[in-house]
C-alpha cells in the first residue's frame, strides 16, 4: 500500500480511566464505568445513570483561566491530545509545525456551556451572557485548542457526523496525510453531553436504558434483554503519521490504519437502514480500500450501542459482508463498559483496537446473559480472550444515517 499511515501516539479520557493503560486494563478486566448521574440532580429523569469521567481536574491540567474558558468537551479533547503527544515523543518545532494538523470531532460540541448560558440569558438578560459562549459551544473548539496549545499550524477541522464522528475524524485525517497535506495528524473525537438538556431529550426519545437500580448491568449490547444505550463522556485521540515520517524520526509504531469507509443510509434520521444496508456498504468500502479479504479480519469492535434496532442491524450487516465467515469472527462492544461516548466513541474505540492488536487480546462484551436469535454471532461474552490479531475493524454509526469504518493492522515493515 502506498502512503502507509501509522499510529505513533494515543491518549484517552474515559469513564474507565483517564489514560490509555488504565482504560485498557479495565476494559480487559470487564470493569464497568457506569453509575448514577452526579453531574446534576437527575431524580426526575426516566434515566438516572450514565458513564461519567471521574477524578478529572481541568484546572490542574490547564490552569484556572484556560479551564474556565473551555467547555468540558474541549477539556477532554485537549487532555487526550496532550497525552497522545507525550506518548508519541514527537518534537514540534518551527521546521515542522506547518506540516502537523488535527481533526478532532464532536457530535454535539459545548452543550453544557450552551445550556448554562441560555439560562443566564433568560434569567439575567443578554448583557450577562459570557463573551466566551460562542468559542466554548462550537464543535471545532477542541481541535483549535490543540493547535493553540501545541503550536501546530497544519490542516485543522472538525468532523460532525453524530456518533460516527470520531471514526470519520481518524479516517479523514489519514486521507489528509495520504494526499500530502500533512506529515502528522492528531485525530479523534470528544464529547461531554451528560447535561440535563441532552439527557432529557434522549429520555423523551426512549433511547436510553432505564435500568437505574443496576447501572453496571444497564449496557448489554446484543443481549436479548437490552433496553437502550447508556450515555458516556470522554475523548480518544491518536497521532497518525506517514510511515516515512515515523521511521525517519525513529518513532514507536503502535499500529497501522489500513482501511477506511464512509457512507450514508439515506433512510431515516435516527433508525438504521433495513438489515444495516448502509453499514454493510461502509464495511465493504473499508475492506476494498485495505485490499484485504474478509478472512483477514480477526476481530470487529462493534458500534454495539445496546439499543434494539442498532444491534440487530449491525449484526445483519456483518453477516451481509462476511457471509458464513461472520460466525468465525469475534465481535464485541466495549460500550458495555464505557457507555456510548457518542462523538467521542470512535476515538476511544480506535485506541482500544490498537491495544487489542498490540496485546493480541479480544475485549469482552459484558452483561451478555440471554442470547437474541437475531444477534447470533460470537460477542466475546463477559470475559476477554487471547487471540493473535493482525487486522481489526472498528464500526461507528450515527443519527442522520452516518456510517464510518476503519481497519487497523499490526505493523509490519513490508506490505503483504
Contact 184, 241 (CB under 8 A): yes
DSSP-H helix ranges across 179-275:
196-204, 243-248
Residue where the block lists cell 482504560: 23
Q: What is the rounded CA–CA span in Å between residue 66 and residue 16?
A: 25
Contact 163, 107 (CB under 8 A): yes
Cell of 107: 457530535
| Burial degree of 378 (CB within 10 A; 0-12, 13-18, 19+) | middle
Q: What is the rounded CA–CA span in Å between residue 308 and residue 347?
A: 24
Query: Which candidate in 75, 245, 282, 340 is catalytic?
Result: 340
Query: Which candidate in 75, 163, 203, 245 is catalytic?
Result: 163
Instruction: Give the pairing of strands 331-332 and 361-362.
Output: unpaired
Query: What single-letter DSSP state applies at residue 151?
Result: T
| Burial degree of 282 (CB within 10 A; 0-12, 13-18, 19+) | buried
Residue where the block lists cell 495528524: 185
Residue where the block lists cell 484556572: 64
Active site residue 282: no
Contact 211, 227 (CB under 8 A): yes
| Burial degree of 309 (CB within 10 A; 0-12, 13-18, 19+) | middle
Active site residue 75: no
Q: Which of 269, 378, 361 is nearest to 322 (CA)?
A: 378
Contact 339, 229 (CB under 8 A): yes
Cell of 11: 491518549
DSSP-H helix ranges across 216-338:
243-248, 277-290, 308-322, 335-338
Backbone angles phi, psi at 112, to 5 degrees: -60, -45
Instruction: Give the pairing of strands 100-105 and 184-191.
Output: parallel
| 3-state secondary structure at position 96 | coil
Query: Which candidate in 303, 353, 375, 402 is catalytic?
Result: 303
Annotated active-site positions, please?
A: 163, 303, 340
Amino acid at each position: 500500500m502506498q502512503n502507509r499511515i501509522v499510529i505513533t501516539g494515543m491518549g484517552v479520557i474515559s469513564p474507565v480511566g483517564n489514560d490509555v493503560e488504565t482504560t485498557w486494563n479495565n476494559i480487559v478486566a470487564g470493569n464497568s464505568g457506569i453509575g448514577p448521574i452526579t453531574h446534576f440532580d437527575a431524580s426526575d429523569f426516566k434515566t438516572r445513570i450514565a458513564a461519567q469521567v471521574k477524578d478529572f481536574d481541568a484546572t490542574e491540567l490547564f490552569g484556572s483561566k484556560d479551564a474556565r474558558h473551555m467547555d468540558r468537551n474541549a477539556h477532554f479533547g485537549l487532555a487526550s491530545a496532550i497525552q497522545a503527544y507525550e506518548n508519541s515523543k514527537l518534537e514540534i518545532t518551527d521546521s515542522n509545525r506547518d506540516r502537523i494538523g488535527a481533526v478532532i470531532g464532536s457530535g454535539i460540541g459545548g452543550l453544557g456551556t450552551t445550556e448554562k448560558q441560555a439560562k443566564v440569558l433568560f434569567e439575567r438578560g443578554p448583557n450577562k451572557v459570557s463573551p466566551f459562549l460562542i468559542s466554548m459551544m462550537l464543535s471545532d473548539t477542541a481541535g483549535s485548542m490543540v493547535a493553540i496549545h501545541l503550536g501546530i499550524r497544519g490542516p485543522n477541522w472538525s468532523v460532525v457526523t453524530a456518533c460516527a464522528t470520531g471514526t470519520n475524524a481518524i479516517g479523514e485525517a489519514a486521507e489528509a496525510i495520504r494526499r500530502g497535506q500533512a506529515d502528522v495528524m492528531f485525530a479523534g473525537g470528544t464529547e461531554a453531553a451528560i447535561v440535563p438538556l441532552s439527557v432529557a431529550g434522549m429520555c423523551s426519545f426512549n433511547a436510553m436504558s432505564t435500568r437505574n437500580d443496576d447501572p453496571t448491568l444497564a449496557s448489554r449490547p446484543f443481549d436479548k434483554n437490552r433496553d437502550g444505550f447508556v450515555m458516556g463522556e470522554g475523548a480518544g485521540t491518536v497521532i497518525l503519521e506517514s510511515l516515512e515520517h515515523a521511521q525517519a524520526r525513529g518513532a514507536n509504531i503502535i499500529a497501522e490504519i489500513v482501511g477506511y469507509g464512509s457512507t450514508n443510509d439515506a433512510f431515516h434520521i435516527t433508525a438504521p437502514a433495513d438489515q444495516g444496508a448502509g453499514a454493510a456498504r461502509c464495511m465493504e468500502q473499508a475492506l476494498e480500500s485495505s485490499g484485504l479479504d474478509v478472512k483477514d479480519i480477526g476481530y470487529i469492535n462493534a458500534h454495539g450501542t445496546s439499543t434494539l434496532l442498532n444491534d440487530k442491524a449491525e449484526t445483519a450487516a456483518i453477516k451481509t459482508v462476511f457471509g458464513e465467515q461472520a460466525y468465525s469472527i469475534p465481535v464485541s462492544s466495549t460500550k458495555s463498559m464505557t457507555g456510548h461516548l457518542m462523538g467521542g466513541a470512535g476515538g476511544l474505540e480506535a485506541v482500544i483496537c490498537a491495544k487489542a492488536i498490540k496485546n493480541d487480546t479480544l475485549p469482552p462484551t459484558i452483561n451478555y446473559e440471554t442470547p437474541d436469535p437475531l444477534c447470533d454471532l460470537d460477542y466475546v461474552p463477559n470475559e476477554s480472550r487471547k487471540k493473535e490479531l493482525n487486522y481489526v475493524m472498528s464500526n461507528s454509526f450515527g443519527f442522520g444515517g452516518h456510517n464510518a469504518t476503519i481497519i487497523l493492522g499490526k505493523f509490519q515493515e513490508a506490505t503483504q
